[in-house]
Structure 1
Amino acid sequence: MFGCFTTERHDELRAAVRAFAEAEVLPRVPEWEQTRSVDVELIRRAARRGWMGVTLGARYGGMGAGHLAKTIVIEELARVCGAMGASAQASLIPTGMIDHFGSEEQKARWLPAICRGECLPTIAVTEAASGSHIAGAKGAARKRSGGWVLRAEKVHVGNSHVADLHCVVVRTGAKGELSAFLVESARAGVSVRPHVPAMGLNGFSFGTVVLDDVWVPDENLLGAVGEGEDAADSSSVLYGRANLAAVSLGVHRATVEETLAFAEERERYGRPLSRLSTAEQRLGQMLANLDAAGTLAYAAADMLDRGVACDGTLMAAKLMGYELGVESARLAMEVHAAAGASMAGPMERFFRDAQLIFSPAGTSDVQRLRLARLARGATARGQWSQRFAVGPAPSVVPV
Structure 2
Amino acid sequence: MAYLQEEHQILRTSLRKFLEKEAYPYYDEWEKNRMIPRDFWRKMGSNGFLCPYVDEKYGGMNADFGYSVVLIEELEKVGSSLIGVSNHNDIVVPYLNTFGTEEQKLKWLPGCLSGDLITAIAMTEPGSGSDLANIKTTAVKVRDHYIINGEKTFITNGIQSDLILVACKTDPKVNDHKGISLILVERDAVGFKRGKKLDKVGLHSQDTAELIFEDAKVPVSNLLGEEGKGFYYLMEKLQQERLVVAIAAQVAAEKMLELTIKYTKERTAFGKPISKFQNTQFKIAEMATEIEIGRNFINNLVENHINKREIVKQVSMAKWWNTEMAKRVASQCMQLFGGYGYMEEYEIARRYRDIPVAAIYAGTNEIMKLINAKKMEL
User: TM over 0.5, yes or no?
Assistant: yes
> CA 1:369/1:49 → structure 2, altered by over 3 Å: closer, same or farther?
farther
> Is 1:29 the equivalent of 2:27?
yes
| 1:72 paired to 2:67 | no
Q: Quick one: which amino acid aligns to residue 127 of structure 1?
A: E
Letter of the structure 1 residue corresponding to residue 286 of structure 2: Q
Matched residue SS, 1:194: strand
- Taking a change above 3 Å as real, the CA distance of residues 285 and 57 of structure 1, as seen in their structure-2 partners, is farther
Counterpart code for 1:18: R
Q: Which moved more, 1:64-73 or 1:183-192?
A: 64-73
Q: How does 1:1-399 map to 2 (within 5 A)?
A: 3-173=1-171, 175-176=173-174, 177-238=179-240, 240-376=241-377
Higher relative contact order (CA 8 A, sep 6+): 1
Gaps of 5+ in 2: none
Give how far 1:280 is off.
Answer: 0.8
Looking at structure 1, the residues matched to 299 and 208 of structure 2 have their Cα atoms a distance apart, in angstroms, of 26
Higher mean alpha-carbon deviation, 89-98 vs 271-280, is at 89-98
The amino acid across from 1:310 in the alignment is I
Deviation readout 1:177-209 (Å, 9 max, x if unpaired): 111111111111111123122111110012111
Kept in 2, the 8 Å contact 1:242–1:318? The answer is yes
RMSD: 1.8
Can you list the C-alpha shifts for 1:24-45, whole angstroms capped at 9, x where unaligned?
Answer: 2122222233343443332343
Shift of 1:47: 3.7
Distance 2:72 2:267 in 1: 31
Query: Is the 2:154–2:198 Cα contact (8 Å) retained in structure 1?
Result: no
List alignment gaps of at least 5 residues for structure 1: 379-399
Q: Residues 91 and 152 (structure 1 numbering): CA distance in 2 closer, same or farther, change over 3 Å?
A: farther
The runs of at least 4 consecutive aligned structure 1 residues that moved more than 4 Å come to none
Contact 1:52 1:92 in 2 (8 A): no
Q: Give the aligned residue type for 2:311.
A: C
Letter in 2 for 1:343: E
State the one-letter code of the partner of 2:110: P
d(CA) in 1 for partners of 2:42, 2:371: 34
Tell me how far apart the structure 1 counterparts of residues 319 and 222 of structure 2 sit (CA, whole Å).
Answer: 31
**Counterparts in 2 of 1:33 and 1:112: CA distance versus 1, 3 Å:** closer
- Cα distance change, pair 117–25 in 1 and its aligned pair in 2 (3 A): same
Structure 1 residue 152, shift from structure 2 partner: 1.7
Deviation of 1:267 after TM superposition, in Å, equals: 1.7
1:100-137 C-alpha deviation (Å, 9 max, x unpaired): 22222222322232122222211111111111211010
**1:260-304 Cα deviation digits (max 9, x unpaired):** 110111122332221211111111122122222222223222211
Preserved contact between residue 127 and residue 137 of structure 1 (Cα < 8 Å): yes
- Structure 1 range deviating more: 187-196 or 53-62: 53-62
What's the offset of the Cα at 1:79?
0.9
* TM-score, normalised via structure 2 length: 0.93
> Per the alignment, in what secondary structure is the counterpart of residue 62 of structure 1?
coil
Q: Which amino acid aligns with 1:356?
A: V
- Return the letter of the residue paired with 1:59: K
Cα 1:170/1:307, change in 2 over 3 Å: same
Q: Structure 1 vs Structure 2: percent identity of aligned residues? A: 25
Measured at CA, do residues 290 and 158 of structure 1 come closer, stay the same or move farther in structure 2, by a change above 3 Å? same
* Partner Cα separation in structure 1 for residue 163 and residue 172 of structure 2: 27
Q: What one-letter code is carried by the residue in structure 1 that aligns with 2:228?
A: G
Query: What per-residue deviation string (whole Å, max 9, x for no partner) do you get for residues 297-346 of structure 1?
Result: 23222211112221222222222221111111111012111111111211
Q: Rate the CA distance shift 1:174–1:204 in 2: closer, same or farther, 3 A.
A: closer
Supply the AA of the counterpart residue of 1:200: G
